[in-house]
Amino acid sequence: MSETIRPEGTTPMTDQPDDATSVEPPDQPDPPDVAEARPATQLGDLAAGHDDDPTVGHPTVFELENVDVAYSGKVAIRDVNMEIHCNLVTAFIGPSGCGKTTLLRSLNRLNDLIPGAAVSGSVRYRGEDLYGSDVDAVEVRRRIGMVFQRPNPFPKSIYDNVAYGLRLHGMKDNLDERVERALRHAALWDEVKDRLKASGLSLSGGQQQRLCIARALAIEPDVVLMDEPASALDPISTQSIEDLVEQLKAEYSIIIVTHNMQQAARVADVTAFFSVDVAEDGSRSGVLVEQGPTSKLFIRPSDPRTEAYVTGRFG
Ligand code: ADP
Ligand code: MG
């Protein structure tokens, strides 16, 4: 199952101008891991609200088999086997550089836009090979939206930020209604309804991130991928994003990368812990260590590497 399904350099160039919403702003350095680590019991308390088997009754939305992602031949994350279930929040946690962002990008083919990136193995989305030759990457990114670490509104009005993807994808009927619905879904409507013509850049950081979430939701995705969506925000804005994630899972499947274990414990039904493996030759690559109900992962992890991480003894 590990045949290369999109060899390096074969990305059709027609993918490029599809969706400016997919342009990732420059990465921020990750804060240190250990500073956020808390004793497992405390995380366990936070996670305790999450059922022992949250996946029951939730069909699979992604199935990954033997997935490797490499950059210019250097493997960043390898041999990932996992299932993601719909209408749940799945958190990806793990130290900086273990490949969380890389794996997330492989779930909506954003790696296609990175020169030298190659995904191998099998990624199935709702039973279909996401990298199949007949699959349209633009449509993939419509159905599987992305929210980045740093809010990246366009220098356009609040209204046009949300309408952007709708126009791009030809979803132009009832535009006002769709924009309002997306802003309501993103819990931003009440704050902006009287100034829809103001620039998206005039909003606070937390509002900008909710605007980016509204922009992602407007095109009616099935899955929302969030890469550390609150890490650049203050605590109050962070809480509003967390509340929003909790509400959104009724309608969407959500995968959230977070550096903050407290956040994973608060919002995620299922958590996947990734680590960096150092081979004998010194090469480093990310691996999935374990995945399970959030409460189990924080209270009774199966792997000593997970335990070391969640109890702050990492590194
Ligand atoms: P995380 O999100 O867990 O911090 P990343 O997915 O960003 O990890 O990175 C995993 C590895 O892949 C790191 O070694 C990083 O340097 C490398 N990497 C990430 N993005 C790129 C890229 N665009 N080009 C080359 N290497 C990359
Ligand atoms: Mg990252």
Chain segment 59-68, per-residue pLDDT in tens: 999 999 999 9
What's the CATH code of the domain at 62? 3.40.50.300
Which of helix, strand or coil describes residue 277?
A: strand
Radius of gyration of the chain (CA): 19
Kindly state whether residue 26 falls inside one of the protein's structural domains: no
Ligand nearest 287 Cα, by number? 1
Kindly state whether residue 273 falls inside one of the protein's structural domains: yes
Kindly state whether residue 159 falls inside one of the protein's structural domains: yes
CA of 174 to the centre of ligand 2 (A): 36
Over range 115-130, report the average pLDDT: 97
Q: How many domains are there within the chain? A: 1
Q: In whole numbers, what is the pLDDT of the chain averaged over residues?
A: 87
Kindly state whether residue 239 falls inside one of the protein's structural domains: yes
Weakest mean pLDDT among 43-47, 224-228, 231-235, 269-273: 43-47
> What pLDDT does residue 18 have?
47
CA of 27 to the centre of ligand 2 (A): 8
Kindly state whether residue 19 falls inside one of the protein's structural domains: no
Kindly state whether residue 214 falls inside one of the protein's structural domains: yes
CA of 73 to the centre of ligand 1 (A): 13
> What pLDDT does residue 212 have?
96
Ligand 1 atom at minimal distance to the Cα of residue 98: 3
Range of the domain at 197: 4-9+33-310
Ligand 1 pocket test: which of 33, 80, 102 has the largest number of ligand atoms within 8 Å of its C-beta?
102
Ligand nearest 96 Cα, by number? 1
For residues 98 and 275, the answer to whether their CB atoms sit within 8 Å is yes
Kindly state whether residue 49 falls inside one of the protein's structural domains: yes
CA of 127 to the centre of ligand 2 (A): 27
CA of 120 to the centre of ligand 1 (A): 16
What whole-number distance in Å separates Cα of residue 215 and Cα of residue 151?
A: 11
Q: What share of the chain is helix, strand, coil (3-state, %, to 5)?
A: 35, 25, 40
Going by C-beta distance under 8 Å and a sequence separation of 6 or more, which residues neighbour residue 254?
A: 88, 89, 90, 223, 224, 225, 226, 245, 248
pLDDT tens sequence across 219-253: 999 999 999 999 988 999 999 999 999 999 999 99
pLDDT tens sequence across 204-215: 999 999 999 999
Four-CA torsion 261, 265, 270, 276, nearest 10 degrees:
10
Residue list, CB under 5 A from ion ligand 2: 101
Kindly state whether residue 24 falls inside one of the protein's structural domains: no
Ligand 1 pocket test: which of 101, 119, 146 has the largest number of ligand atoms within 8 Å of its C-beta?
101
